[in-house]
Amino acid sequence: MIELISPNKKQYRANLHCHSTLSDGKKTPQELKEMYKSHGYDVLAITDHERPAQHQDMSDKDFIMLTGYECYIRQDPHGKYNAFEKEIHLNLFAKDPMNVKMICFNEDYCSYLKRDNAISQLERVGSERPREYSVSYVNEYIRTAKDNGYIVAYNHPFWSMESEADILDYEGFFSMEMCNYSSWVQNHLEYNAALYDKMLKMGKRVFCHGSDDNHNKYPTDSILSDSFGAFTMIIPDEFTYSGVIDAMERGNMYASTGPLFHRVCVDGDTVHIECSDVSHAFLYVGSRSPKHIYAEKGTSLNSFDFEINENVRYLRVSIQDSEGRFADTRGFFPDEFR
């Protein structure tokens, strides 16, 4: 039997995309840490726009702050925003918590660093030529980030309006936002399961995660709040900074907006799932007809099986509860479960 999500390993709740007053968020880093810890989270990455910063003084034995930032590349040569043009946003997570290197510095993108007179405090690495919105430049940017100690995630595909062909040609990001909650609140389209499955069908070993991308323009009890909506459950071997980053890099995590997986395992031709109460579930295997199971009206599912055969290209489980909230595992390939 192969355990893909083991009931014997503790899961830790994380928000991997968040903005503070260091860029365009409305809460300070300390306020964000206290807010998330009080809501049962264990990990927080404050990823301010083009503003690398480490917040290790706020980590404690029960809560880990990840170091990182969000970068972006636009079509305008000076990085000007245009709501009708596509662009790309990436989150960079530092393997070393003290790593705050600025990748491919470009002054046009760094208004928050200039506002706080912080540019001179950062080590700058990589080409500083004008950023170019192209597949080749994006791939170069990702390589440079990885070469300098970051793992790279792809943010909010729908909001970015990029062509699917370009997205499928990008190389080197370890995970994609399955749900970006801030964008979901705005458009109810930022659930990127179809795009993710196309990546898996191409054989791309990319993981998926959920995040808030919160700026907190509204109170957390407002229907327009962008906090506490999408999260990642991380399953590290040990609850340390390096343990969490290692689990993310190896795909020991899943995306959720509510439901939780307790166990996913494969025993021969049977996939067994245990989870919180849900109304239906799907097993995606790379075909046009995923397997599915629905609870009868007035009942719920929390333990069930799917049968598979030797033709499956990968496995990915998606569950949804009666409130319409979903959770998704990453794709697992045959060499991982056979």
Is the residue at 135 inside a domain?
yes
pLDDT at position 208 is 98
One domain for residues 191 and 274: no
Are the C-beta atoms of 184 and 191 separated by less than 8 Å?
Answer: yes
Q: Considering 257, 284, 311, which residue would you say is the last residue of a domain?
A: 257
Whether 227 and 243 map to the same domain: the answer is: yes
Range of the domain at 275: 261-338
pLDDT at res. 77: 87
List the CATH number of the domain containing 311.
2.60.40
Among 225, 242, 257, where does a domain finish? 257
- Residue 268 and residue 233 share a domain: no
Structural tokens at position 68:
């990182």
pTM: 0.97
**3-state SS assignment for residue 292:** strand
Residue 65 in domain: yes
Residues 140 and 166 placed together within one structural domain of the fold: yes
Instruction: Establish if 230 belongs to a structural domain.
Output: yes
Best CA proximity match to 197, nearest among 285, 73, 96:
285
Length of the chain counted residue by residue: 338
Q: Can you give the pLDDT at residue 320?
A: 98
Specify the DSSP element, H or E, that contains 199: helix 193-201
| 138 and 28 belong to one structural domain | yes
Q: What helix, strand, coil percent values describe the chain, rounded to 5?
A: 25, 30, 45
Structure tokens at 326: 């979903």
The reported pLDDT for the residue numbered 46 is 98
307, part of any domain: yes
252 with 265, same domain?
Answer: no
Distance CA 4, CA 336 (A): 8
Query: Is residue 282 a part of any domain in this protein?
Result: yes
Question: What are the strands, taking DSSP E only, across 285-337?
Answer: 291-294, 301-307, 316-320, 326-328
The dihedrals phi and psi of 181, each to the nearest 5 degrees, come to -70, -40
The DSSP output letter for 164 is H
Q: How many domains is the chain partitioned into structurally?
A: 2
Q: Are residues 168 and 92 in the same domain?
A: yes
* Per-residue pLDDT, 246: 98
Domain of residue 98, CATH code:
3.20.20.140
Is residue 282 located within the same domain as residue 180?
Answer: no
On whether residue 4 sits in a domain, the answer given is no
Q: For residues 334 and 116, what is the distance between their CA atoms, to the nearest angstrom?
A: 50
Nearest alpha carbon to residue 308 among 247, 274, 267, 279? 267
Residue at which a domain ends, from 203, 238, 257? 257
Residues 282 and 227 in one domain: no
Residues 190 and 81 in one domain: yes
DSSP letter at 53?
A: B
29 is a domain residue = yes
Residues 146 and 275 in one domain: no
On the 0-12 / 13-18 / 19+ scale of CB atoms within 10 A, 300 is middle
Look at residue 249 and tell me if it is in a domain.
Answer: yes
pLDDT along the chain (338 residues), means of 10: 97 98 98 98 98 96 97 94 97 98 96 94 96 97 98 98 96 98 96 97 97 97 97 98 98 98 97 98 96 95 96 97 97 96
31 and 71 belong to one structural domain = yes
Query: How many CB atoms lie under 10 A from the CB of residue 141?
Result: 24
